[in-house]
Structure formats: C-alpha cells, structure tokens
Structure 1
Amino acid sequence: MAENANDKSVQFLYGSKCGRVLLHAILALRVPKLLGVVLRSPFSRFYINSFVKKNGIDMTGFEGVKFKSFNDFFTRKKEISFDSELSHLISPADSLLSVYEITEDAKFHIKGFDYTLQDFFEPKRFKMSEEETTELFKDGLCLVFRLCATDYHRFCYVDNGSQNGNHFIQGSLYSVQPLAAENFRLYTKNRRSWTIMDTENFGKIAQIEVGAFSVGGIKNNIETGSFKKGDEKGYFDLHGSTIVLLIQKDKIQLLDEIKSLTGTGKEYRVKIGQTVATKQ
C-alpha cells in the first residue's frame, strides 16, 4: 500500500454514510480507549512479530529485546542522528510532510477545510489574547508532519531554545489518514497539546502534537525550560498521529525538492532529524 493511501477500514468509516454512523458510535462507546487498554496489556505482545513482519520495520538494535506489551514496543526508544548545522531546520519526526501557507488573516487551508490559528490554540481556554496568537504567525508557514503507524513515534526539538508550558486540549480520536482529513476538521477536533517555543535561529515556533485513533497519550518530557536541537521532546502512545509546526513569516526557506513536491499537494517523506529548510 502507498504511504499516502487509506486503509480499507478508513475508506469505509470515513468514505461512506453507513461508515460514518458506525464511526461516531465507535467514538461514543470509547472504543479507541478500550483498544488502547488491550494494546498496553501483556496479551498484546503476541501482535508484535506479525506487525513488524507485515510492515517491514527495521528492528536493528532491538534484537532479543523482550517487550512487555505492544505499546512498549511501539514507544521503544532509539538513538537518532540529526543535522546539527544551526541554520538548518530539521524534521521533528519520521513522517510525511505537507506544507501550507498561512494568510494575512491567519487562516490556512488543509484538505478542503479552512483553519484559523484560534482553532489550533483555543486561546480563551488558556486566558490568552487571540490577537497575540494571530499576529505571531500570520503570513507564515504551516508544516504538517503526518506519522504513519509504522513510523518511530518519538519526536525531537527542531532547534535550540526554550518553552514556557504545554497546553493540552481534550478531543476526539479520529484517524489522521488523508480521507479522514478530507471529511472532518480533525486538526481541531482531535486531542492535542501545543507549546510556543522561543528558538535560537527561527524565531517563535508553535508545535502542536495531534493525537489520532487509539493514540491516548501525548507525552512531553518537560513543561518549561531550555532545550537543545535534537533532544527528545516527547512521544505518542500507539498508532498514527501528527505534528504541526507553525513558522513565522520570512524565517525559513524550504528545500527546493520539498517546496516543489508539497506545492502540488503531495506529501514528502522525511526522517527524524533530517533537514527540511534553511534559515532565511
């Protein structure tokens, strides 16, 4: 199956009327939470080998490791390499990258839906100024890193800098596959956590971690403080998920091959720590 294709179950649940009725029943009955409980149990160990074989996952460095559960395997930690050149912006995760322009009125268009910065941040919930969040990123770029179920689900910092708090928004757990994004405003419906980082080389960057079907946990390692480029920022629990980076105006220049491909509406495969843009 192509990486940007939809699973058959997603085609049914999100692409048909009957499927969408069933989908809402599944979410109402909290099936994703129950599935998460199963995949965190010792019984789920027996699913690991077939998952690895089916998806051709490289397990180098984990030979002989006895995982306690499927989730223990899924959130495994490995050493990563990254481009340490400070003028290079790196990918926070293994993922498929899409790029969208943020307009002057702080809107951007993803898969048929218009989003605003307020949609992402919900500033009133955190007693913040709507104008402040709008002014920060208008005319900038929105980088969407969509993780597949087979990707490494830990993510890193894209530059040196500091942050002052994570803001968690409880939400639904829709799939983040393309068809789901075309039928639901999932980037503002799904569970998410966001922070605004003061970076050394690229100004202020907002990072939003978006949960997805059966991804019950978004785990960040620190609440406030400083960090270094390439440091682990956190990880997702179970299956696919998404990271969104909001970049201020005139701070980065995307690599030509990324700009060219994403400009046609396609996704560009990136690895954690890989350069995606340079300082402008």
Structure 2
Amino acid sequence: MGKEKKQKEQPCPSIIERKTGRLIQEEEYGQKAIYFLYHHFLGRLLLKMIFARPYFSFLRGLYYNSFLSKKEIAPFVEKYGLSKELLKKKYQSFGEFFSRKEAVYLREAGKLPFYASASGKVLAYKIDEEGRIILPPGVQKESAGKKENFHFLPLEIKGNFYSIEKILKAPCPEFLKGGTLLIFRLSLPDYHRYIFPAEGKLLRTKKIKGRLDSVRKEAAHFKAFSENKREVSLLELTGMGKILHVEVGAMLVGHIHNHMELKTFSDKGDQNKKKNLGEKTTIFDRGNQQTFRFTAGEEKGYFSLGGSTIVEMLSDKIVIDEDLFENTKKGLETKLEIGERIGYGKA
C-alpha cells in the first residue's frame, strides 16, 4: 500500500528526449524553493520584494563570478550527469563555467535547413491568420456545445491572459500570421549559448525592460514572457523570410549578451526598404538601424547564470518538424540539442 502511494506521488514524465524517444522527468535546481516562492503567500511576497528585483540578481552574480564559487562546479557536474571532461578545464568561477563556450555542430543539413537555436526543452504552436497562438489541428476543444479542432492561446494563468501582443508589447506583425511559435526553455544544466538558426541578416533589434522572473513551469511561463526583461531581434533568413527571435531573461540571470557588433556592415538598400518588411513600427521604433550578416550556426549570444528562455516566431515559409507539434499536443516538451535540424524553408 505504502509502495503504491509512493508511486502515485511521483510526477509523470513531462519531457521527451528527441534523440532516444525516452520520457524523462527533469529535476529542477532549487525546485522546493521555487515551489515555495510561487505557491505560498509569504513566498510570493518575498519574490515580489526581493528575489525578482534586478539588484538581487546583481548580488548573486557577484558571488558566482568570483573565485569563491569555483567549489560549486564539481557537485553541479555530478548532480546533473554532465561530461566529466568539463572538470579538466580551469574555470575561474561558476559563472565562467556556466557561460562556457563549446563547439557547435550543425546536423542533417539538407535543403534550406532550420536549426535549433539552443539546447533545451521545446514547445511548438501554430499562429493563426488572426495572430492568435493555437495548438495544432487534432486537439479538440468544446466551444458553445461544439467540438473544434484547435485550442486558442493565450493561456489563462492565475486570472491573467498572455498572447503574442503581450510578449512583444505590440500587435502581431502580418508576416507571422499563419506561422509557428517555438519556445526553448533552458534550465541550469543546459548549454546557455545560442546561435542563428539559418543564414541571413539581422535587421532590427529592441530591448524591452522588465522584472526578472522565473521561467520554470511553477512560474507559468507565459506570464514571464510578457513581463520579463527581453530582447527582440528581427531576422531575415535566406529563403525563409522574416522571423522574430526573443531572448527572455529570468530570475538570477545577470544579462542577455548579444554579439551584434560582429560582422557589421552598412546596407543602405535594406534600410531604405525597411518600410516594406512588414514589421509594425511599434515593435522596433527605437531599434538598431544597422543590418548584420550571419551564417547558419554562428553564435548570436549567451545568457549569464540562471534558467532562461528563447521564443521564436516564424513565418509560414518555415516548416517545423511534425514531431514537435505532436509532443506539444501530448503535453510534452521535446529535449533538443543546439544545431539539431528541426525544420526547413519552403523556398
């Protein structure tokens, strides 16, 4: 009886490893503390007054970027089963270890491949012709007594609704309608550098200020996406049209570091055509006016210490692999590796 109760209390697997098809349950770093902060009155008060404030992240960063934090590297590698080879490198701090640079290999090239921008857990949704986020066909929902083969987001979480408009703090651009939305959730053991998913040009950028909140499930990620500090980039991918790439900061993340100063060039032709790009000026009214060329797999930037999230909004010119949608419909996140092919351009 006791054994049955124990089995019952174990959480169901919520992640599927794409490489092996194995179902896994991820153990979150500081899971009990996160649960307390989001599910208890005192915890929510402390979160609002202290832990979600930028100064707390700054103070934690001071420690993790000091030599005093080196002692935490070995236990971390052991706890999460990371490669023991990492212990052979002489990192000066846990922060340096966390934001380490590793070789990235692009896999399964093919024609106009679209690659995973980061290592992490992915959810895939469709964007309908009205700019609403929906679960793909096959998920039935009761509406006014009728069964419909879709489920609209924004999600209602603790009385709040979240959508593309709240993520961007602007209307959904026309070029995204009929496209796809991908959410890459990076937890602490994941590699925290990210790449460009295909070759192309970075056209505009915008920083959106916000508080640092957790992007874990207990924090209800759609709320975090609409309120956290984030950086929005408008990319034009060769043969795939335009996409929006959004880096989202989270609790204990010091900064989002992008390498936009690399490979800069002046392209007046593209700047003159910006009014024809289809983006709403309310998204990029103060964005970067220069254009930057990049190659597929080139590093775009990295996150400082903490769990983080990347949201990518794609046009209908990019076809994302069906297994990502199928897993999302089943309530499963798909565990991917950076540089893995997850779709292709139609052109």
- 1:80-229 to structure 2, matched below 5 A, reads 80-83=104-107, 84-108=109-133, 109=153, 112=156, 114-123=161-170, 130=171, 133-181=172-220, 185-223=223-261, 224-229=291-296
SS in 2 for 1:56: coil
Per-residue deviation, 1:54: 1.2
How many residues align structurally?
269
Matches within 5 A, 1:31-70: 31-60=56-85, 62=86, 64-70=88-94
Judge conservation of contact 2:154–2:163 (CA < 8 Å) in 1: no
Contact 1:163 1:195 in 2 (8 A): yes
Q: Deviations over 1:79-120 (max 9, x none)?
A: 111123342211001110001222333232265354343323
TM-score, reference length from structure 1:
0.88
Q: CA RMSD in A?
A: 2.2
Q: Which amino acid aligns with 1:24?
A: K
- Runs (4+) off by over 3 Å: 110-118
Please tell me whether Structure 1 or Structure 2 has the larger radius of gyration of its CA atoms: 2
Which digits, 9 at most, give the CA deviation of each residue in 1:206-263, with x for residues without a partner? 10000111111111111541000011111000121011110112x2333232221112
Task: Check the 8 A contact 1:172/1:190 in 2, yes or no.
Answer: yes
- Aligned residue runs from structure 1 range 263-278, under 5 A: 263-278=329-344
TM-score normalised to the size of structure 2? 0.72
Q: How far apart in 1 are the matches of 2:119 and 2:125?
A: 19
Change in 2 beyond 3 A, CA 1:201/1:263: farther
Structure 2 residue runs of 5 or longer lacking an equivalent are 1-23, 134-152, 262-290
Aligned-partner SS, 2:38: helix
Separation in 2 of the partners of 1:77 and 1:23? 31
Q: Note closer, same or farther for the CA distance 1:256–1:136 as it changes in structure 2 (3 Å cut).
A: closer
Are 1:79 and 2:118 an aligned pair?
no
In structure 2, the partner of 1:127 is: none
The alignment partner of 1:3 has SS state of coil
Percentage of matched positions with identical amino acids = 32
SS in 2 for 1:260: helix
Distance 2:203 2:83 in 1: 36
- Runs of 5+ unmatched residues, structure 1: 124-129
Measure how far apart 1:121 and its partner are.
Answer: 2.7
